[in-house]
Structure 1
C-alpha cells in the first residue's frame, strides 16, 4: 500500500470504551458493567468528531444521547438515517429544496429501533430522497468512503455505512428501496441485510405506494450484529404473516443448493473484479459442502425501463407533494437526478398501469428461478466502487442515468419482489484496496437461511477489517 493510499484511509478504532467491539460485544460489556452506556456514548461522540471532517457522514447531532429501554443491544450508540422521523430532530431527506422542521414524534421504525436498546446520537446523511447509489450532492461535500476517501461510500445509506466502517459506531440505521442497505455495505466492507418486505414495521409513505419498495434495517461490521438487531426488532413487533427468525447465532449444518448469477438478467455484464469476487465465493461455498450451479432468471426484458419509470414516479410524487415536507419546498431546487427522473416520468406517465402490472408480475419469474434452489449468489453491483464524481448529480442526466443503470443492475429486483437479500464482504479487493461485496438472495421470510450462510462464510474467513490494513 502506497503512502497516498494509506493517507486516503480513515478509521478511529482506538483504546477507549469501544475498542474493537462490535455491537453485540459492546452490549455484553455494558451488561457486565465493564463499560458504562454513558461512557460508550461519550467515546462514540469523540470518534465521530475525529472522523467527520474527512467523511462528512453526519447530518445532525442530538444535544444529549437518547437511550433506548432494555433490549439485546442496550447501551450501544448508533445513528438514524435522515429520511426517518426522530422526535425533536429535523428530517431533511438529503435535499436542499426545503428547510426541514423538527419531527413532532418518532416514526414507527424509530420506535422499533429504540426498542432494541440502542442509544441514538444523531442522524446520518443520504443523497436527495435516497434516489442515488452514492451519497453526493450538487452544493455540498460528498460522504467519503473510509477505505479510500477518493471513492464513494455508496448510497443511499452512505453516511451510516461510512461511520460504521470507520469504527465511529458499531451499527447504524439504513433502509433499502433499490439497494440502499446492500450497496453502501458492499462499498464499505460491511454486512447489509435487506429484510423481507413486511418484516419491519411499515412506514406511512410506503403503505400509500402501489409497490412498497422500502424496508428498514442496519449496516454492521459482523454477521452477529445484523442477526441480533433482527431478533431484537422482532421482539418489538413481528409480522404474523412471516415465519419468525429468532436469534441466529451461527451457521447450520444444512447443505444448500445455491444458484450462481454472475451477470445481470437485464444484460449488464459484471466487470472483472466483481466476477472474481463472485466466482471465488462460489468456490468457497463448494469447499464448505454446498452445491453451486449456474442459474438463469427470466426477468421481463423491460424490467430496467419499468423500474426507471417507477423511480421517476416517486420523484414526481415528491415534487407534487413536497410542501408536506416544508412550506418553502421548491421542486426546482431539487438536484439533477431528481429533476431528470421527474421529467422522464412526465414523458412516460401514460405507461404507468402497464409498468405496474409488469413489475408486480416479476415475483412469478423470480420464484420460478428459485425452483430447486435455497439461495442465489450474485454481485451486489455490476462494477466496483467508483470514484467521487462519477455518479454525482452534477453529471448531465442522460450520462448519469446510463451510468446508474450499468452500476445498479442486481439489487432492485429484490425490492420489487419483496425478497430478503444480504450483502457480504468477499475475500477480493480492488487494486487500491477497496472492498468488493457479494449478494445472497432468498425466498420471502428466509432471513434465517441467509444469516446462517453468512455466519459460515465469516467463520471460514473473517471479514477484512479496516483497522488491520
Structure 2
C-alpha cells in the first residue's frame, strides 16, 4: 500500500488493512521484523525471536480473527508456546522448552495474532524493573538511561518503540501497570479469574497474577480482552460474568456522572514524587470539568498490612519457584542456579510458616470486602500508578554491603535468621516504596488500569491508576476511551525511539 507507515497503526488498524486486503500479513510482518532489528540492539526488549514460524503463519492467516495477521510479542514467563523456550529470565531455564501451549496462548491464537518472539523479564518476574543477569537490562524508549519498569518491561519497551502494537504481559503486583506507566502506555489488569491461567495451574501467585496485554491504544486492549476472557472450569477463581463486548460498550456507552475518590498518599506512608501527585491532581481537575464528582479519600485498608501480606506471598512463591526448578534440573538447586537476590528471597520463603500464609490471605479477603463496600459509594479509586518516575538503570541494585550480607547468608542458608531480623523484608519494602499503589488490586482481585496522562520536565511518562469494583472493566474502558481523547493524554508515539 502506497505511503504505508507500519508504526502509525494500532493492532486493530493493521488488522483492518489486512482484512480489506490493502496489505498482506507478510508485508506487515516484514515491517515488524525490520523495526525489531532496528531498535532491539539499543533497547534489549526481545530475547527470543520466532521469525521463521511467524513468516509461515503470516502466509496462511485466517482473516476472521480480530487481530488477524497482527504482529505480537509474548512475555517470557507463563505465556508458553509449545516447543519454544520459556526461560523466565533465568539461566536455570535456558534449555527448557514448553511442552504445550498455555491456555492464554490458545485463546490469543484464536485472534489470528502472529507471534514474533518473546520479551525480556526480570528473573521469575520478581522485580518492578527488567534487569536480569542472563540477558541484561531493557531500556526505556523515552530515555535510554532509565528502566521501562517490570516485570513486563520488555513488552512495554517493544510496544512503546513501535516494534509491535501489542505485547503479552501479566500482573501479579503491578507488572502491567508499572511498565505501562513508565513507557507511556495503556495497561489494564483484569479482574481475577477473567483471563486463563491453565493448564499447569488453577491460580498464579495465589490469584494475584493475571495475564493480558500492553498496548498504545485503549481499543486494542478492550478488543483483546473480549477475545481472551473465558470461563475456565479448572481455574480456582472466576470473575463476575460479562456477556457483552468491552470494545463495543466502550464506543457507545456514554460516561454519566461518576463518583471518583482519589489519593496521592502512599499506603506505606512514604514519599511520593511531585510529578506523580501532579498527574493525579490534573486528572482530578479534568474529571471535574467533565461533570464528575471528585473527592480526596483514602482507600479503607491498612497499607502496611497489605504490603506485609503481599510480601508473605511473594517470598513463598519464590521458594516454590526454586522447588519447581529442582524438578527441571533433576537435582537439588544450589545458590548459583539463580540470581543471588532470588536465592535469598527463596530462603526467606522457606522460613515462612503456613500460619503466616493463611493470615496473609485472610488480610487479602478482608481488604477485598472493604473495597467492595467502598465501591458502593465510589465508581473509581484514582491514585498515581507509581510513587516515582522511572528509576535509572542499575539504581535499584542492592548496595555492596547488602550483596555481601546476602552472599554470606545464602551460603550459610540463614533464611530463618534473615527473616527474624527483618532485613530482607525491609529491603523488599524499600523497593515497594517506589511502586506502593499497584499491589492492592492484585490482592483484592479488582480490575485496575494505568493511563498515560503526564510527562515530567525531563520528558519521562507518569501514569495515573484507576481501580473499579470487581467485574467492572467495562466502566474502566469507557472512562479510558474518554481520557484518550483529552488534552492530558500523552501518546506513546512521542518518545524518541518511536520517532526514529
Q: Same fold, TM exceeding 0.5? A: yes
1:106 equivalenced with 2:101 (yes/no): yes
Question: Which 4+ residue blocks in structure 1 deviate beyond 6 angstroms?
Answer: 235-240
2:15 aligned to 20, 27, 38, which one?
27
Query: Structure 1 unaligned runs (5+)?
Result: 1-14
Report the CA distance between 1:115 and its aligned residue.
1.1
Match of 1:357 in 2: 362
Other-structure match for 2:378: 373
- The whole-number CA distance in structure 2 between the counterparts of 1:326 and 1:182 is 33
User: What corresponds to 1:340 in structure 2?
Assistant: 344
Counterpart position of 1:243? 242
Select which of 140, 149, 156 maps to 2:144: 149
Determine whether 1:64 maps to 2:39: no
1:197 is the counterpart of 2:192: yes
Mapping of residues 387-398 of structure 1, within 5 Å: 387-392=392-397, 396=402, 398=424
Are the equivalent residues in 2 in contact too, given 1:112–1:236 (CA < 8 A)? no
What residue number does 2:87 align with?
92
**How far is 1:326 from its partner?**
4.2
Higher relative helix content: 2
Question: Aligned residue for 2:485?
Answer: 459
Matches within 5 A, 1:416-435: 416-426=443-453, 428-435=454-461
TM norm structure 2: 0.85
Preserved contact between residue 7 and residue 162 of structure 2 (Cα < 8 Å): no
Where do 5+ consecutive residues of structure 2 fail to align? 404-423
Contact map agreement 2:205 2:317 (CA 8 A) in 1: no
Distance 1:467 1:258, change over 3 A: closer
**Residues 14-413 of structure 1 aligned to structure 2 (within 5 Å):** 16=4, 18-62=6-50, 63-65=52-54, 66=57, 69=62, 70-83=64-77, 84-204=79-199, 206-207=201-202, 211-234=206-229, 241-246=240-245, 247-248=247-248, 249-250=250-251, 252-300=254-302, 301-327=304-330, 330-332=333-335, 333-349=337-353, 351-392=356-397, 396=402, 398=424, 400-413=427-440
CA contact (8 A) 1:429 1:436 kept: yes
Structure 1 length as normaliser, TM-score?
A: 0.91
1:207 is paired with a residue whose SS is coil
What is the deviation of 1:16? Answer: 4.9
Check the 8 A contact 1:187/1:385 in 2, yes or no.
yes
Q: Which residue of 1 aligns with 2:420?
A: none
Give me the whole-angstrom Cα distance separating, in 2, the residues matched to 1:245 and 1:265. 35
| CA distance in structure 1 between the partners assigned to 2:89 and 2:334 by the alignment | 14
Deviation of the 1:260 alpha carbon: 0.6
Mapped contact 1:16–1:43 kept (Cα < 8 A): no
CA offset digits 1:367-425 (Å, max 9, x no partner): 23323111111111111111111223677365752431211201111111111000110
What's the CA shift string for 1:215-250, capped at 9, x where partnerless?
110000011111111123248989684223412443
- Alignment partner of 1:351: what SS? helix
Q: What per-residue deviation string (whole Å, max 9, x for no partner) do you get for residues 76-95 of structure 1? A: 10011111210121110011
Range moving further from structure 2, 346-355 or 305-314: 346-355
Equivalent-residue separation in structure 2 for 1:278 and 1:255 (angstroms): 19
Displacement after TM superposition at 1:34 (Å): 1.4
**Aligned-partner Cα distance in 2 for 1:329–1:189:** 42
Aligned length: 455
Greater Cα shift, 321-330 or 289-298: 321-330
